Structure 1
Amino acid sequence: MPLAYKIWLLTSLYLAQGLPYGFFTQALPVLLREQGFSLTAISATTLLFAPWALKFAWAPLLDHTGSRRRWLLALQLGAVAGAAALGLVVDLGAALWLLLLSLFAFNLVSATQDIVTDGLAVNLLSARERGLGNGIQVGGYRLGMILGGGLLLWVFAQSGWQLMFLGMAVLLAMTALPVFVLREPAPASPASPPPRALVLGWWPRLRQPGIPAFIGLICLYKFGDSMGASLVGPFMHDSGLSKAQIALIKGTFGSAATLAGAAAGGWMAWRLGRRSALLSCGLLQAASLVLYAMAALGDSGPPLIAAACIAEHLLGGMAVVALFTLMMDASDPQHAGTDYTLLSCALVLIHGAAAFTGALLADAAGYGALFVVSVVVATAGCLVLVGAIDRGAGPARLREVWTRRITSELHAPAPAPGA
C-alpha cells in the first residue's frame, strides 16, 4: 500500500476524531455558563467523555468481528448523519439535554472509531513507518481540534447552530473518503472467537507477559508531565494573564507548537530509533517544565510564561509521539485494537490521577513546588522506563525494535500479522 495513501487515510481518521471534540470542549462550557450553570456543574460534563476511558471494554468486539473498513464506514457515516441532523435543530441552546446527549454520542463514536483506527495503523504501518504514523495521530487530532474549536466555533458565533453543524457534517464526510478505497490486510486469524472472548477479551490481553509492567512504565513516563501541564491554565490565570492572552498563548502558540512537536517526534522515532527518541524526548519534556518553575518562583511576566507554554507543547508533543510509537510496537497485530486501547486508556486514567495529585500539591505548597516536583518526577519516569526496557521489561516483541535503528526502506510493507 503506497505511503501517500496511508498518510491520507490516517490523517483523515484522526482529524475526524478531533473535529467534534474541539468544538464541544470550546463551545459547551461557554453556553452552559451563559445559562447560569455553576463551574462545578460545568466540570461535571467531563463525565460525558467517559467512553474514552472505558473503550477497552468493547475493543475486542471490534478486533474480531467484521472488517475495519466496515466499522470505519459505519462510524464515519453515522457521525456525518448525526451532525447533519443537529443542523436541522433551530436552537440547541433551548434544549440543553439534546446538546449533552449529542456530546456523549459523538464521544462514543469517536472513541470507538479510535479503537479501529489504532488497530488498523498497527497492521498497516511497518516498524519504520510507525514514528511517522504516530506523528500523524497526534498532529491530525490536534488539527481537528483547531478546526472544531476555531473555524467551526467562529461559524457558530457568526451564523448559529445550523450552518455550523452542516459545516461539521461536510468536513466529516470529506474525512470518510479515503475509507471507501481502503483495502486492509487479511486478518491473521479468520476464526471467530467465542462470545466470552468478545465480552471480556481485554482481561487476558491485560495479563499477557510484560503488559502489566509496561503499563506501569508508560504511566510513570507521563505522570510528571501530566501533573504539571494539567494546571498550566489556572497558573496563567493566577499569574495575571487575561483570557485573551491565555487563548493566544495556549490556543494559538500552543497548538502550533504541538503540531511541530508531533512532526519532530515522528522524525526522531524514524531516524533515531525507539530508545534514543524516548530518552531524548522524555528528558526534553521534563526540561520544558523548568521554565514554568522559573516563572512560578520568580516575578516574571507573559514572555517567560509564553516561552514555557511553547516549549512544553513542542517538547511534550515529541515525547507523546515517541511513546505512542513504542505502544504500537508493544501491540500484538492479532489483537491490535485491544492492546493499543488498553495502553491508551491507562494513560487517560493516569492523567486524571496526576492532575488530582498536582492540584493537591499546588494547593498545599504553591505552583513553584508543583512544577519543581513535576520536573523531578518526569525525569525519573523517563530514566526508569528506558532502564527497565534495557533490562528486558515489557512485551518480548519490543526487543526487535528497542535498541536498533530501523533501516529498512520507508516504503517496505508492514510485517505480516503475528510475524
Structure 2
Amino acid sequence: MSGSAQNSQAQRIALLSGLYTAQGIPFGFFTLALPVLMRDAGWSLTAIGFLQFLALPWGIKFLWAPALDHHGSRRGWLLFFQCSACLMALALSQLHMQTGSIVLFAAVFLFNLIAASQDIVTDGLAVRLLGAKERGLANAIQVGAYRLGMILGGGLLLWLFAQTGWQVMFLCMAALLGLTILPVLPLKEPVRRVDAPQRPAGMALMIGWLHRALAPGMLTFFGLIFCFRFGDQILNSLLPPFLLDHGVSKSTIAVMKGAVGSGTSLLGASIGGWLTYRLGRRKAMLFAGLSQAAGFGLYVAVAFGLGGVELLWTATVLEGIVGTMATVVLFTLMMDACDPDHAGTDYTLLASVVVAVSSLGSLTGGVLGDRLGYGPTFLLATGLAVAGCLFVVWWLDRHPTNERIAQAWG
C-alpha cells in the first residue's frame, strides 16, 4: 500500500472514529449514567424503562433520512450537527439541573435528535468511503468508537458528576464533543456516480423511506433484526438498576459498566471485525450470538443468588467482549443489505429497527423486572437470545433476503 493510500485510510479511520465517538458520549451518559441516578432517586424500573421513549428520534430518523442522504453537503451536515451538540452541552452547563428536571428530559430528546441525524450522514458516508472488503473494519470502528464514547459518557462523566456536579460534567461533555469536530474539517466527500439515480424531490423525497422499506427483502430483514436483538435488549436494559439493587455503588458501576465493560467492548469490536472477515458472516454470527447468550448466563446466576460481585465483574468483562462481537456481525450484515445508491436511507431504516427493538426491549424488561423479578426475566431474555440467533442463521441459510446478502452470507 502506497504512502498516500495509507494516509487516506488513516484519515477515513480518524473521521469515522470521531463521528461515532461523538454519538456515544451523550448516549453513554443518558443510557448508562442517568438510569443509575434515577434509580438512586427512587424511580421504579418501569419509569426508567419509559425513559427510552426520549430516544424516539433514533426510531423515526428514517423519515428525514432521504433528505440528508440526497441533498446538501455531507461535510456541511456533519459540522452543523457536531457543533449543535457541543453548544447544547455548553448551554446545559449553565443551568441548575436535577435528576427529574423537565429541562434534562428535553435535553435527552434533543441530543438524541442531533445524534440520530448525524448518524444518518455518517452511516451513508461509511458505506461510500469503504469497499465491501472493508465492511468488517468499518463496523468494528463504528461499534468500537461508539463504545469509546460510552466509556467517556457513561463512565467518566458519571464519575465527574459524583465528584463535582452537573456544571463541570456538561462542560467536559462539551469539550469532548468539540474534539470530535476536528476530523470533519479536512473531509473531502466521495464523488457521486455519474449514473446514480436522480435525487428525489417533493413527495418522492418525503416518502422515499417507504420506497426503500418495500425494496426486496427489507421487511424480512427487519424481522430478523428483531429476532436477533430482542432478548439481549431486555436483559441489558436492566443491568444498571440490577447492579445498584445488588449493593454496587454508583462509583463502582461507573467503573464496571462505563469503563471496564465498555473498554472490553473495544476488544470485542476488533475481534468481531476479524471474525467477520476470516470466518464469514454465517459462522461469525452463530459464534458471536451464542457466545453472547452464554455470557448472559452469568447474570442469571447472580440474579438467582449463585454468585456475588466477583461474578458480576466477570460477566461485565465477558459481555463487553462477546456482546460487541455480535453487534459488529449484525451491523456488517446490515451494511451488506444496503444499496450503495441509497446507503444512508437503507442503513438508517435498518438502524431504526435496531433502536425500535432496543426501546421495546427496555420497556418490556422494565415491566417484566417489576412483575417477575430479575432472575426469571434474565432467564427468559437469555432463552430468547439463543432462539433468535439460531432462527436468523436457519432463515438466511434458506432464504437470503436479497442478492447482496446472498453473496455475503456463508
On whether the aligned pair clears a TM of 0.5, the verdict is yes
Match of 2:339 in 1: 332
Cα gap change, 1:81 to 1:351, in 2 (>3 Å): closer
Cα gap change, 1:122 to 1:41, in 2 (>3 Å): same
Match of 2:300 in 1: 293
| From 166, 180, 197, the counterpart of 2:185 | 180
Q: Which aligned pairs between 1:225-240 and structure 2 lie closer than 5 A? A: 225-240=232-247
Deviation at 1:226, TM superposition (A): 2.0
CA distance in 1, matches of 2:315, 2:99: 41
Matching residue's letter, 2:131: S
The answer as to 2:291 corresponding to 1:279 is: no
Match of 2:148 in 1: 143
| From 400, 403, 416, the counterpart of 2:407 | 400
Matching residue's letter, 2:145: G
Cα gap change, 1:371 to 1:3, in 2 (>3 Å): same
Q: Which aligned pairs between 1:296-315 and structure 2 lie closer than 5 A? A: 296-315=303-322
RMSD: 2.9
**Taking every aligned residue pair, what percent have the same amino acid on both sides?**
51
Q: Secondary structure at the match of 1:129?
A: helix
Matching residue's letter, 2:151: I
Cα gap change, 1:80 to 1:236, in 2 (>3 Å): closer
Q: Secondary structure at the match of 1:128?
A: helix
The answer as to 2:207 corresponding to 1:200 is: yes
CA distance in 1, matches of 2:300, 2:167: 45
Residue pair 1:210, 1:396 contacting (<8 A) in 2 also: no
Cα gap change, 1:371 to 1:97, in 2 (>3 Å): closer
CA distance in 2, matches of 1:95, 1:370: 27
What do the CA deviations read for 1:179-213 (whole angstroms, capped 9, x no partner)?
12212222243632121122111111111111111
Unaligned runs of 5+ in 2: none
What do the CA deviations read for 1:365-404 (whole angstroms, capped 9, x no partner)?
554433333333222211221121122331221122212x
Residue pair 2:49, 2:365 contacting (<8 A) in 1 also: no
| From 73, 83, 94, the counterpart of 2:79 | 73
Match of 1:19 in 2: 25
Cα gap change, 1:221 to 1:43, in 2 (>3 Å): closer
CA distance in 1, matches of 2:372, 2:173: 44
Residue pair 1:31, 1:93 contacting (<8 A) in 2 also: no
Deviation at 1:42, TM superposition (A): 6.4
Match of 2:225 in 1: 218
CA distance in 1, matches of 2:287, 2:318: 14
Matching residue's letter, 2:306: D
The answer as to 2:60 corresponding to 1:54 is: yes
Q: Which moved more, 1:330-339 or 1:144-153?
A: 144-153
TM-score by length of 2: 0.87
Match of 1:107 in 2: 112
Cα gap change, 1:90 to 1:290, in 2 (>3 Å): closer
The answer as to 2:361 corresponding to 1:346 is: no
What do the CA deviations read for 1:273-316 (whole angstroms, capped 9, x no partner)?
21221111111112112222333345322222322232222211
Match of 1:317 in 2: 324
What do the CA deviations read for 1:310-357 (whole angstroms, capped 9, x no partner)?
222221111001100100110111111111111111122222333444
Matching residue's letter, 2:111: F
Matching residue's letter, 1:70: G
Matching residue's letter, 2:219: P
Cα gap change, 1:360 to 1:202, in 2 (>3 Å): same
Cα gap change, 1:296 to 1:94, in 2 (>3 Å): closer
Cα gap change, 1:338 to 1:391, in 2 (>3 Å): same
Match of 2:137 in 1: 132
Cα gap change, 1:295 to 1:117, in 2 (>3 Å): same
The answer as to 2:271 corresponding to 1:264 is: yes
What do the CA deviations read for 1:135-194 (whole angstroms, capped 9, x no partner)?
111111121122233434455555665554444333323212221221222224363212
Unaligned runs of 5+ in 1: 404-419
Cα gap change, 1:26 to 1:291, in 2 (>3 Å): closer
CA distance in 1, matches of 2:372, 2:106: 39
Q: Which moved more, 1:309-318 or 1:347-356?
A: 347-356
Matching residue's letter, 1:273: G
Deviation at 1:249, TM superposition (A): 3.0
CA distance in 2, matches of 1:298, 1:54: 40
Residue pair 1:12, 1:176 contacting (<8 A) in 2 also: yes
Residue pair 2:36, 2:240 contacting (<8 A) in 1 also: no
